Amino acid sequence: MWPLIFVGFFALGILSLRGVRWAYFAFVLLGLLYFPARVGFQLDPHPCQLTINPTLAIHSLSNYAHIVLFTMFFLMTSAQLRMSNWRAFIWAAAATIAMGAMVEIGEGVSGKGNCRLRDLIPDAAGALIGSVIVLLWHRVRGRPRFRNSFSTKKY
Protein backbone atom coordinates (compact mmCIF):
# COMPACT_ATOMS: atom_id res chain seq x y z
CA MET A 1 0.00 0.00 0.00
CA TRP A 2 2.78 2.46 0.91
CA PRO A 3 4.49 2.20 -2.51
CA LEU A 4 1.20 3.25 -4.10
CA ILE A 5 0.98 6.22 -1.72
CA PHE A 6 4.57 7.17 -2.60
CA VAL A 7 3.72 7.08 -6.32
CA GLY A 8 0.66 9.26 -5.65
CA PHE A 9 2.74 11.83 -3.76
CA PHE A 10 5.36 11.75 -6.49
CA ALA A 11 2.75 12.37 -9.19
CA LEU A 12 1.20 15.23 -7.21
CA GLY A 13 4.66 16.70 -6.66
CA ILE A 14 5.48 16.63 -10.38
CA LEU A 15 2.14 18.24 -11.23
CA SER A 16 2.74 20.88 -8.55
CA LEU A 17 6.15 21.67 -10.02
CA ARG A 18 4.40 22.21 -13.37
CA GLY A 19 2.10 24.78 -11.71
CA VAL A 20 -1.07 22.70 -11.32
CA ARG A 21 -2.79 24.38 -8.39
CA TRP A 22 -5.17 21.56 -7.36
CA ALA A 23 -2.24 19.13 -7.21
CA TYR A 24 -0.35 21.48 -4.88
CA PHE A 25 -3.27 21.78 -2.47
CA ALA A 26 -3.89 18.02 -2.62
CA PHE A 27 -0.20 17.42 -1.88
CA VAL A 28 -0.31 19.72 1.15
CA LEU A 29 -3.57 18.29 2.49
CA LEU A 30 -2.56 14.66 2.00
CA GLY A 31 0.90 15.42 3.37
CA LEU A 32 -0.63 16.66 6.61
CA LEU A 33 -3.03 13.71 6.80
CA TYR A 34 -0.10 11.32 6.27
CA PHE A 35 0.95 11.39 9.93
CA PRO A 36 -2.42 10.51 11.48
CA ALA A 37 -2.96 7.93 8.71
CA ARG A 38 0.33 6.19 9.60
CA VAL A 39 -1.09 5.39 13.04
CA GLY A 40 -4.58 4.51 11.79
CA PHE A 41 -5.95 7.80 13.16
CA GLN A 42 -5.31 6.47 16.69
CA LEU A 43 -3.63 9.64 17.94
CA ASP A 44 -1.12 9.52 20.80
CA PRO A 45 0.01 13.13 21.39
CA HIS A 46 3.52 13.74 22.70
CA PRO A 47 4.96 17.08 23.75
CA CYS A 48 7.25 18.86 21.32
CA GLN A 49 10.91 19.34 22.15
CA LEU A 50 11.46 23.08 22.14
CA THR A 51 15.15 23.03 23.12
CA ILE A 52 17.58 24.60 20.69
CA ASN A 53 21.25 25.25 21.32
CA PRO A 54 24.15 25.68 18.89
CA THR A 55 25.20 22.02 19.13
CA LEU A 56 21.68 20.73 18.42
CA ALA A 57 21.24 23.32 15.64
CA ILE A 58 24.37 22.13 13.86
CA HIS A 59 23.42 18.49 14.43
CA SER A 60 19.96 19.12 12.96
CA LEU A 61 21.59 20.07 9.65
CA SER A 62 22.45 16.37 9.24
CA ASN A 63 18.73 15.70 8.75
CA TYR A 64 19.14 15.39 4.98
CA ALA A 65 15.62 14.04 4.46
CA HIS A 66 14.11 17.28 5.75
CA ILE A 67 16.51 19.36 3.67
CA VAL A 68 15.65 17.52 0.45
CA LEU A 69 11.90 17.37 1.08
CA PHE A 70 11.62 21.03 1.99
CA THR A 71 13.79 22.06 -0.94
CA MET A 72 11.25 20.29 -3.13
CA PHE A 73 8.38 21.93 -1.22
CA PHE A 74 9.93 25.37 -1.80
CA LEU A 75 10.26 24.59 -5.51
CA MET A 76 6.62 23.47 -5.69
CA THR A 77 5.46 26.58 -3.84
CA SER A 78 7.54 28.84 -6.06
CA ALA A 79 5.98 27.20 -9.12
CA GLN A 80 2.54 28.06 -7.72
CA LEU A 81 3.51 31.68 -7.03
CA ARG A 82 5.16 32.12 -10.45
CA MET A 83 8.09 33.88 -8.68
CA SER A 84 7.85 37.24 -10.41
CA ASN A 85 9.18 39.38 -7.57
CA TRP A 86 10.95 39.25 -4.22
CA ARG A 87 7.68 39.17 -2.33
CA ALA A 88 6.97 35.78 -3.90
CA PHE A 89 10.27 34.51 -2.50
CA ILE A 90 9.27 35.67 0.96
CA TRP A 91 5.85 34.00 0.65
CA ALA A 92 7.39 30.76 -0.61
CA ALA A 93 9.89 30.74 2.27
CA ALA A 94 7.13 31.49 4.80
CA ALA A 95 4.95 28.72 3.36
CA THR A 96 7.88 26.30 3.57
CA ILE A 97 8.56 27.10 7.22
CA ALA A 98 4.82 26.96 8.02
CA MET A 99 4.59 23.54 6.38
CA GLY A 100 7.62 22.43 8.40
CA ALA A 101 5.91 23.56 11.60
CA MET A 102 2.71 21.72 10.63
CA VAL A 103 4.72 18.56 9.90
CA GLU A 104 6.30 18.75 13.35
CA ILE A 105 2.90 19.25 14.97
CA GLY A 106 1.57 16.30 12.96
CA GLU A 107 4.42 14.14 14.25
CA GLY A 108 3.70 15.26 17.81
CA VAL A 109 -0.05 14.68 17.60
CA SER A 110 0.26 11.29 15.93
CA GLY A 111 2.94 10.05 18.32
CA LYS A 112 4.86 8.70 15.31
CA GLY A 113 8.10 10.56 14.82
CA ASN A 114 9.65 13.30 16.88
CA CYS A 115 8.17 16.76 17.23
CA ARG A 116 11.25 18.99 17.54
CA LEU A 117 11.52 22.71 17.06
CA ARG A 118 15.08 22.26 15.87
CA ASP A 119 13.80 20.38 12.80
CA LEU A 120 12.76 23.75 11.41
CA ILE A 121 16.47 24.50 10.88
CA PRO A 122 16.91 21.93 8.06
CA ASP A 123 13.52 23.04 6.71
CA ALA A 124 14.87 26.60 6.47
CA ALA A 125 18.05 25.25 4.86
CA GLY A 126 15.85 23.49 2.30
CA ALA A 127 14.06 26.78 1.59
CA LEU A 128 17.41 28.50 1.12
CA ILE A 129 18.65 25.81 -1.28
CA GLY A 130 15.33 25.97 -3.13
CA SER A 131 15.63 29.73 -3.53
CA VAL A 132 19.14 29.35 -4.97
CA ILE A 133 17.81 26.75 -7.43
CA VAL A 134 14.97 29.08 -8.50
CA LEU A 135 17.38 32.00 -8.95
CA LEU A 136 19.75 29.87 -11.01
CA TRP A 137 16.85 28.51 -13.06
CA HIS A 138 15.67 32.02 -13.90
CA ARG A 139 19.21 33.04 -14.82
CA VAL A 140 19.72 30.03 -17.11
CA ARG A 141 16.33 30.49 -18.75
CA GLY A 142 17.13 34.12 -19.47
CA ARG A 143 14.10 35.48 -17.69
CA PRO A 144 14.23 39.10 -16.62
CA ARG A 145 15.59 39.89 -13.21
CA PHE A 146 13.16 40.23 -10.38
CA ARG A 147 11.53 43.59 -9.92
CA ASN A 148 11.85 45.32 -6.62
CA SER A 149 8.24 44.99 -5.60
CA PHE A 150 8.78 47.20 -2.58
CA SER A 151 9.37 50.35 -4.59
CA THR A 152 6.63 52.58 -5.94
CA LYS A 153 8.37 53.07 -9.29
CA LYS A 154 6.51 51.42 -12.18
CA TYR A 155 8.40 49.88 -15.10
pLDDT along the chain (155 residues), means of 10: 80 85 89 83 82 84 89 90 79 91 87 83 93 85 59 51
Q: For 108-118, b where at least 16 C-beta lie within 10 A, e where not — what string?
A: bbbbbbebbeb
pLDDT of residue 127: 93
pTM of the predicted model, to two decimals?
0.81
Tell me, what DSSP letter sits at residue 143? P
Q: Return the pLDDT at 72.
A: 92
What Rg do the C-alpha atoms of the chain give, in angstroms? 17
Domain extent listing, the chain: 2-141
Which residue type, as a one-letter code, is found at position 69? L
Q: How far apart are CA 136 and CA 143, in angstroms?
A: 10
Structure confidence by residue, pLDDT tens digits, 55-76: 888 888 888 988 998 999 999 9
